[in-house]
A and B are shown apart, each in its own frame.
Chain A
Amino acid sequence: MALLELRNVSKIYHLGGEEIRALDDVTLDIEAGEFCSIIGPSGSGKSTLMHILGCLDSPSLGTIKLDGVEIQKASTSQLAHIRNRKIGFVFQFFNLLPKLNVVQNVELPMIYSGIGGKERRERALKALEMVELGNRLKNRPSQLSGGQQQRVAIARALVNDPKIIFADEPTGNLDTHTGEVILELFRNLSRQGRTVMLVTHNPEIAAVTPRRIEIRNGKIADKVDTRLAGLDRLAAAAAKSAAAGAH
């Protein structure tokens, strides 16, 4: 049984009497432990897909099973509960609370799952050690660099030990080098057996994941566009080195 099962999921918006299908009959399985990316140009529906996968939104049609439980009919409060226990989010703009310091930000999800103060602190410290920020506990987000803020956000996503982590353009607001450090962090998480979903429009980032799901016009593209995913360059490079070897 897959961790996430989508069956014929559609998301339909009505704008001025016109029906817009942001997602159109998507069927998709994501297995536990997968490291996977969702790619597609802006407006393709990849954000909508992530919102539905991440329980931020409910589908208009179709069924979705997370961890064996059907959730397409869940109320907003039930979705909040699921997000709290089973899902971690990392956003492009970090989305840390500016008034709280690093530890308090990481503790935030545990406050809503009713974990006591002492255990909260211990688990937050452990998560911060994992992203190598154990020395910046009392700083406010505004006193940290972009990369550090994103690592705090990752610690926050990890702290409740979720089934799946969603990262929405996690490197979009970072320079190339810092972006690579963050990607390396996700790769490590994947190696530890966590399920990680990267949402991006950047093929080079998508290239780091073993599986790529491409969205176009609200549908999953049958065949991954190698050019878009940057695979053609990899293939070309491989062909080139093979040719060089033949000489």
Chain B
Amino acid sequence: MGLWNAIAVGFKEIWAHKFRSLLTMLGIILGVSSLIAMSALVEGMEKGSREALVAVGGLQKFRIESQPVPVEQRHLRDFATGVTLGDVYAIQNNAPEVLKISPEMRMEPSPTLSANGKNFRTWSTAGVWPVQLEMMEHNIEHGRCFNEVDDEQARSVCVIGTGIRDELWGNPEETGKEIIPLGQTLTINGSPFTVIGMFEHYESDQDRKTRLLRKAEEAERLASGLTNAPTGPKRMRGWGGNRRGGFAFWIKNNTVYVPLNTMWIKLLSGQTNTPSDKRLSEMEIKVRDVDKLELALSEIRNVMMVRHRGIEDFNVRTQEDWAEQINVFIKNARLSGGLIAGISLLVGGIGIMNIMLASISERIREIGIRKAVGAGALDIFVQIVVESTVIALIGGIAGVGTSYGLIQLIIAFTTTDNAPIVTVSSMAIAFGASAVIGVLAGLFPALKAARMNVIQSLRYD
């Protein structure tokens, strides 16, 4: 019997038992669609994480921060200075692999910002050199950044992120216009500062799309003359809209930078026990070549160990750790998602095998007749395997279709930043898996049917 005949017979058999076949396929449909949806979710998460990693400067960058002296060096803790501005100069002069270095002196706990009659406590208020902007991939959209003169003279000027503007002066979507608070006065823990620059608004691709879409809808509504704008007080959106993926962007938007000297002299005076050397919260370092990261790290470590006389009161944190964590997380998500989808595919396969077994015991006489007129064991075997494969393949195609709906459902229920990304390869793999399962599920019933005795099956009622 030709393969086409077998396939035609398979379709006929499925059509003869429409409902039963549909129920059988359901297992495969769910398995395939959950496999695709899982992989789309993980893919989306991965993209979001990579975006966030790039937003904070990529792998070339790492950070040195102060840390408590380790236990075995406790007796030396009076000599521990932590990371200081002197260290920055020393690294600048002695570590050739270092491209940029940027000290950062933060106020801990973060201060209260006041302006326009409102108070706000932000994520990070730091004294930095202008190079910090390059380091953290900040872009000034309005005004200017402070320069070396501002730093030298410890002028009371600051550059803010749009998050600060949103909280103190109002955000563009609620006020309907973009407020640029250049020249306005902002007080930090009571000290007045002049806003001389504002960063651009940072957001993920997904956020940008959502925002633009909302804007377009708004414009359309206004154009059509309907003004059913929401009334009443605005609802609190919470921290970064409760969105984990956007957290890196949220932090960037909620930053206030002042010159390092200003921070030291005007805001932190008297908060350190090393008046000769300015103590830093941390320093950010960017290396020339990411391939020579190890070399750069050892250079820096040597300089630091000499300056700190062997006391390990500092800690080097690379983004590699983070990148590694992302990879591990993605791997785990993929594994567990794949496992769940795999189990549901397996269950679907068992369902098919079950129904094929029921089908052949219903058709014992038919098999007997076919054998009597000349069907060989192989013909019967192929026919049953083809039937189960056809069921699985139809289920696979339907599953690919259903996965679209499933993903829409997931998006509707979880407001995640990382929109799921459906890849062709995941579809191909899921579809291929359904085909393999169809064949495997058919093997045992087919073997059973092929081995039936002709005379007994002809007499069977």
Contacts and interface: CB of A to CB of B under 8 A. Distances in A.
Interface in A81-120: 81, 83-85, 89, 91, 95-97, 99, 108-109, 111-114
A135 to B, nearest CB: 24
Interface residues of B, number: 22
B335 interface: no
B12 interface: yes
B454 A114 contact: no
B376 A80 contact: yes
B305 interface: no
A89 B372 contact: yes
A181 interface: no
Nearest to A98: B366
Interface string A51-72: 1000011000000000000000
A109 B373 contact: yes
Nearest to A47: B455
B372 A95 contact: yes
Contacts of A192: none
Contacts of A77: 376-378
Contact of A83 (B5, B372, B455): B372
B5 A56 contact: no
B374 A83 contact: yes
Interface in B1-29: 1-2, 5, 12, 16
Contact of A56 (B1, B372, B376): B372
Interface string B360-388: 00000110111111111111000000000
Contact of B374 (A95, A96, A97, A113): A113
Contacts of A109: 373-374
B377 A99 contact: no
A89 B454 CA distance: 13
Contacts of B12: 99
B377 A56 contact: no
Nearest to A87: B374
B370 A108 contact: yes
Contacts of B458: 56, 91, 95
A99 B373 contact: no
Contacts of A56: 372, 454-455, 458
Contact of A80 (B2, B375, B455): B375
Contact of A156 (B373, B378, B454): B373
A112 B1 contact: yes
A145 interface: no
Contacts of A57: 454-455
A188 interface: no
B46 to A, nearest CB: 51
Contact of B369 (A85, A97, A111, A114): A97
A50 to B, nearest CB: 10
A76 interface: yes
B369 A95 contact: yes
A114 B2 contact: yes
Given A81-B374, A95-B372, A112 B379 contact: yes
A112 B369 contact: no
Nearest to A99: B16
Contacts of B376: 76-77, 80-81, 112
Given A97-B366, A111-B5, A112-B379, A51 B374 contact: no
Interface of A: 51, 56-57, 76-77, 80-81, 83-85, 89, 91, 95-97, 99, 108-109, 111-114, 156, 160
18 contacts: A56-B454, A56-B458, A76-B376, A76-B377, A80-B375, A80-B376, A80-B377, A81-B376, A83-B373, A85-B374, A95-B369, A95-B458, A108-B370, A108-B373, A109-B374, A111-B2, A112-B1, A112-B370
Interface of B: 1-2, 5, 12, 16, 365-366, 368-379, 454-455, 458
- The 10 A-B pairs at the shortest CB distance, nearest first, are namely A84-B374, A80-B376, A109-B373, A112-B374, A77-B376, A95-B369, A112-B375, A83-B374, A56-B454, A109-B374
